[in-house]
Structure 1
């Protein structure tokens, strides 16, 4: 069954990709969607039948892949609770996105190719989450990178789509370079890329480090000119692994590709942000939690980056006007929450937020797609307004997604986000309190920009043209039904699954899927924080809602007045902290200057000038002079022959042959 779950999307990709032009668009849509729905059903069956306690890790061997010296890699599926959670998330959201896309993309002439790419994306993510070793995980890791490039640039005739796809591909290669070095480091230290071997070695190494002052034994890794002992080696390896996670999960510094990914079709945005790609980094750190527990310095850095990202992305979301970009920066911020949880050792809380976030973020993106579909592909919220009476079902679905995102009591986000904030408060690393403060502030900002989106889009006076307002219509059932399913998840996923993911008996639920040692202390303390700490996210949520209501419903002029009074800050946030401009100045322009120098000077003047061009020029010089000797007059040729005979006689006389 597990092998079938992984292979069904691959079969859909092959059917739509190879036979799509033959069988037609409709057959491609139904084939890929049907296979994904079947995979989702099987995933839920596997998740439930695995049991909710003491489920042993299963290893399903598929084939022997490669062997080179000490490197022996088999393609096998690692089935544990973490894998099953990801199978449910990936296949459920992906199947709903497939169904939604049947309606959203029905006018596109390349639908078969689109559905093939969607299925390829899903297959790559399933390969990643079921991997039994790091090489297999890296295969899936790069697979989602390739699929994201294809989907973001799906409308390849748009220059902006091509640029966004290339940007995502290049930025992720930066992070992937670190991830690859981390894999090399683990192989050097543990002699294997198998998770079982690495985790067993990590347990032994942890025991030995506990018995030493600071792990200052003999060098176990040589990196960047330094000889590192066991403790230093694990810190370096964990930071390299986290570098890969920063790229895939869009943490500050390697986040710049994520907003531009909105150039792809809206279903792509939902799939990338909710179930695949961006969650890969969070999953990888959770999977490698036994290794990260060996380096508290690395976990502290993870906490700092996550908290900073949560705040940074939320500030940018305050002023964005593109409906999809607001939700995109929300994703970036929510991923920061997950890394805060990972950094303080609350791995279960991070995965739980990943699980709940998939439902309400997919709901928000697909709801935004329904809005865009209704207003003739308009994405600027300043040209919307007053839509709630025209598309009431989409409106209420967006309300449900917003309530869950902002952490309204008893919604999915309320349970998972609050668990992270409380875990950060009781965390013990140096940036745990910083994480708590930043996540609470981000909760306020999240509430503000989320309700700002609702108020600007659905409330107030219509700001669209009369022609657009005349053609506004509710989405068809094929697009609304996935919203209903996701809304149910956004409302119920928290209250239903909280006892298993984070309740008193959560150790038996996770078993050995994640590291549960120190986390037990963190979650136990998190359950007993003061009332002020426990309610601080809810208080922040209410404040954000009130501010948004005042500025966009009660006194709509206040927002523009505030921006006019603070033009520098407004432009700073509107231009996304100028990260793109900074990278353009430091990297892009310098790379162009270097390329232009190597082209004009190195290639044209030096290589071509002294090489083939110089030789050809000399040949032309010689031949041009020789050509001048060919006059066509007989007496010139007779004179040349006479000179030749004289020269030959003279030569022979000097040689003494005459």
Structure 2
């Protein structure tokens, strides 16, 4: 029934092979773009087929073994795929959004050198992410885990001749390796611990079935889950390993959308969801996850307040929203966390692609006017809603969604997380407060972006302002589809308190994911307590906070546009600190990067040059010197050689006689 499941990752991989091997010869942009997009779209169609079958299937978990991978003593590792509600939802998310991003890229990347290379990498990225979410065991997941890390390096550093881009690619690669080390430690410890109980496995279904063999709340399960969480912090850009994600803006805008919305950064959230039974057994780890998630949500939101690069604002927004997802996972709101992953994919993909549309228009105008201003700086924009109406309206709808305005998608998922943070048996009012403050800042800085970009006086250079076009249909069509999903997608997960208000409107996401999370929550008594009146009250407070943030942004950037400069003049040091991202990168440079460089230089100059090279070169010098001395004995005269033989015999006889 599901025997062709392997087609879903295979099709993007074929697209990668065709464009990667033949793209330079094909040359035609339309053909290259069509191959890559059709490969992903075909994968999406197959995903839809199996997803619909799963909806009508009473058995919700299916494994498809493609081949045997390795057998080591009692361990049998197969190359296999797992289809259940969680992986099915992620398959649809990855292939659907990737299709739209590929379509968008056809127009956005037009004329770029290395066009074929970009689409080959994009296909490979999608293949790797599908391996990650579909793998039936931790090693197949890890192949995808490392694959998206490699592709992020290739795509972030796509403009490799630009130093900042190549540095950003290396930074993403190195920081993710730190997290990957944690993932491997967790996997090795889990494998050995279960093996001591007679179960040698890394398959997710068997891990889930045998997790009870570990002590609930014990040191082993805590260490295992903390190690896995370290892996998640690297891949999903949480404190302290978040610094690579904002720098990922150096890649082309479609890359930002793919990394931030549909793939990679959600991998850590997905991994915790996949191993929810294991994490539920470690309440200390879950509290750490909730605290780190809440802190990341608030911390990244503060940085977003002062950024002027349109993509960088969205980058810190992504870090903050990922913090929300981890907050949800930490308080046991697994369904809400995955639901926010889904709604975030809708509105954040639209926002990034919308920012790309703005950049595309600004770049066109600057090119026409022969200017070299920064097309991503919001201080050079303003008044673009009249020039780019489709981009504006789709961007506005997605901004309303991320701000948590009823009844856009972000409202349903964000408020469900905040409610669980407050009312869950593993929640706390401090976690709710941190999440609420992050929500207020999100609404403020996102509408700051909207008002600076689309409202007010147009600040573009006079020579360029009349040449800003709306983007072509190949760019605006994905925006319209994503804006519709950002607007209406939240109705898939209407909370029970609102569903009852509208006549028992079902929470479809919760019902769909129940086979994955419900048993874990019941077994460990994880639930949210509270009356409907209390939930409505806090829902109203969070909406009020968001509205206040929007109102403040309007007052400062539309009503009194001189106010931001006045505030900056009063607190210049604070503004500079926030603008410079609290100097965390500089702190890491001073604490880790520069000492590591100095150590490397020392090892090179002392150990390598003096010791290793000195030893090797010393041996060579001795051999060469000896050779120079001995070569004088090679005269070519027979009587000299005969004399040498006689002397040798005399020496031997002398040794024999005197011994």
Q: Same fold (TM over 0.5)?
A: yes
1:616, CA displacement in angstroms? 4.5
For 1:17 and 1:651, locate their aligned partners in 2 and report how far apart those are by CA, in whole Å. Answer: 73
For 2:588 and 2:354, locate their aligned partners in 1 and report how far apart those are by CA, in whole Å. Answer: 33
Query: RMSD over aligned Cα, in angstroms?
Result: 2.9
Does the alignment pair 1:488 with 2:481?
no
Q: Which has the higher contact order (CA 8 A, sep 6+)?
A: 1
Does the alignment pair 1:277 with 2:264?
yes
Structure 2 contact 339–509 (Cα < 8 Å) conserved: no
1:469, CA displacement in angstroms? 1.6
SS in 2 for 1:522: coil
SS in 2 for 1:587: helix
1:500-545 C-alpha deviation (Å, 9 max, x unpaired): 9995676642243235443786356486634331212211111111
1:76, CA displacement in angstroms? 1.5
- How do 1:463-478 residues align onto structure 2 when only pairs under 5 Å count? 463-478=459-474
Structure 1 contact 411–492 (Cα < 8 Å) conserved: yes
1:10, CA displacement in angstroms? 1.2
Residue 100 to residue 656, structure 1, CA distance change in 2 (3 Å): closer
1:135-180 C-alpha deviation (Å, 9 max, x unpaired): 1111111111111111111111111111000000000000000001
- Matched length: 624
Does the alignment pair 1:529 with 2:526?
no
1:273-318 C-alpha deviation (Å, 9 max, x unpaired): 0010000000000010010111100000000000000000000000
For 1:459 and 1:359, locate their aligned partners in 2 and report how far apart those are by CA, in whole Å. Answer: 24
SS in 1 for 2:527: helix
Structure 2 contact 412–495 (Cα < 8 Å) conserved: no
Structure 1 contact 300–344 (Cα < 8 Å) conserved: yes
- How do 1:601-612 residues align onto structure 2 when only pairs under 5 Å count? 601-609=606-614, 611-612=615-616
Residue 292 (structure 2) aligns with: 305
1:614, CA displacement in angstroms? 3.0
Residue 203 (structure 2) aligns with: 194
For 2:528 and 2:207, locate their aligned partners in 1 and report how far apart those are by CA, in whole Å. Answer: 26
Does the alignment pair 1:48 with 2:57?
no
For 2:94 and 2:462, locate their aligned partners in 1 and report how far apart those are by CA, in whole Å. Answer: 41
1:432, CA displacement in angstroms? 2.8
Does the alignment pair 1:578 with 2:583?
yes
For 2:60 and 2:471, locate their aligned partners in 1 and report how far apart those are by CA, in whole Å. Answer: 45
Does the alignment pair 1:146 with 2:146?
no
Correspondent of 1:84 among 78, 82, 88: 88
Does the alignment pair 1:2 with 2:5?
yes
For 1:499 and 1:328, locate their aligned partners in 2 and report how far apart those are by CA, in whole Å. Answer: 28
Structure 1 contact 415–498 (Cα < 8 Å) conserved: yes
For 1:527 and 1:146, locate their aligned partners in 2 and report how far apart those are by CA, in whole Å. Answer: 47
Correspondent of 1:372 among 359, 368, 371: 359
SS in 2 for 1:467: coil
1:95-118 C-alpha deviation (Å, 9 max, x unpaired): 000000000001112111111111
Structure 1 contact 82–514 (Cα < 8 Å) conserved: no
Correspondent of 1:118 among 114, 119, 122: 122
Correspondent of 2:543 among 519, 522, 538: 538
List runs of 5+ in structure 2 lacking aligned partners: 195-199, 364-373, 500-504
Most deviating of 20-29 and 295-304 = 20-29
Residue 322 to residue 603, structure 1, CA distance change in 2 (3 Å): same
For 2:270 and 2:625, locate their aligned partners in 1 and report how far apart those are by CA, in whole Å. Answer: 68
Residue 380 to residue 507, structure 1, CA distance change in 2 (3 Å): closer
Structure 1 contact 76–131 (Cα < 8 Å) conserved: yes
Does the alignment pair 1:13 with 2:16?
yes
Residue 498 to residue 9, structure 1, CA distance change in 2 (3 Å): farther
Structure 1 contact 287–514 (Cα < 8 Å) conserved: no
Structure 1 contact 54–511 (Cα < 8 Å) conserved: no
For 1:148 and 1:394, locate their aligned partners in 2 and report how far apart those are by CA, in whole Å. Answer: 27
List runs of 5+ in structure 1 lacking aligned partners: 210-214, 216-229, 631-636
1:203, CA displacement in angstroms? 3.9
SS in 1 for 2:494: helix
Residue 527 to residue 132, structure 1, CA distance change in 2 (3 Å): farther
Most deviating of 418-427 and 194-203 = 194-203
For 1:124 and 1:23, locate their aligned partners in 2 and report how far apart those are by CA, in whole Å. Answer: 25
1:608, CA displacement in angstroms? 2.3
Residue 387 (structure 2) aligns with: 390
Most deviating of 181-190 and 315-324 = 181-190
Correspondent of 1:518 among 521, 524, 543: 521
1:437, CA displacement in angstroms? 0.7
Structure 1 contact 203–290 (Cα < 8 Å) conserved: no
Correspondent of 2:421 among 412, 419, 424: 424
1:651, CA displacement in angstroms? 9.2
Structure 1 contact 422–526 (Cα < 8 Å) conserved: no
For 1:75 and 1:177, locate their aligned partners in 2 and report how far apart those are by CA, in whole Å. Answer: 22
- How do 1:249-288 residues align onto structure 2 when only pairs under 5 Å count? 249-288=236-275
Residue 308 to residue 440, structure 1, CA distance change in 2 (3 Å): same
Residue 525 to residue 193, structure 1, CA distance change in 2 (3 Å): farther
1:75-103 C-alpha deviation (Å, 9 max, x unpaired): 12111111111011101110000000000
Residue 95 (structure 1) aligns with: 99
Residue 343 (structure 2) aligns with: 356
- How do 1:625-644 residues align onto structure 2 when only pairs under 5 Å count? none
SS in 2 for 1:73: strand
TM-score (normalised: structure 1)? 0.89
1:39, CA displacement in angstroms? 2.0
1:347, CA displacement in angstroms? 0.2
For 2:257 and 2:165, locate their aligned partners in 1 and report how far apart those are by CA, in whole Å. Answer: 17
For 2:266 and 2:651, locate their aligned partners in 1 and report how far apart those are by CA, in whole Å. Answer: 88
1:428, CA displacement in angstroms? 2.7
Residue 198 to residue 616, structure 1, CA distance change in 2 (3 Å): closer
Most deviating of 320-329 and 543-552 = 543-552
1:420-448 C-alpha deviation (Å, 9 max, x unpaired): 0011010233x632221111000100011
Residue 48 to residue 526, structure 1, CA distance change in 2 (3 Å): farther
For 2:420 and 2:652, locate their aligned partners in 1 and report how far apart those are by CA, in whole Å. Answer: 104
Residue 625 to residue 131, structure 1, CA distance change in 2 (3 Å): closer
TM-score (normalised: structure 2)? 0.89
SS in 2 for 1:466: coil
1:73, CA displacement in angstroms? 0.8
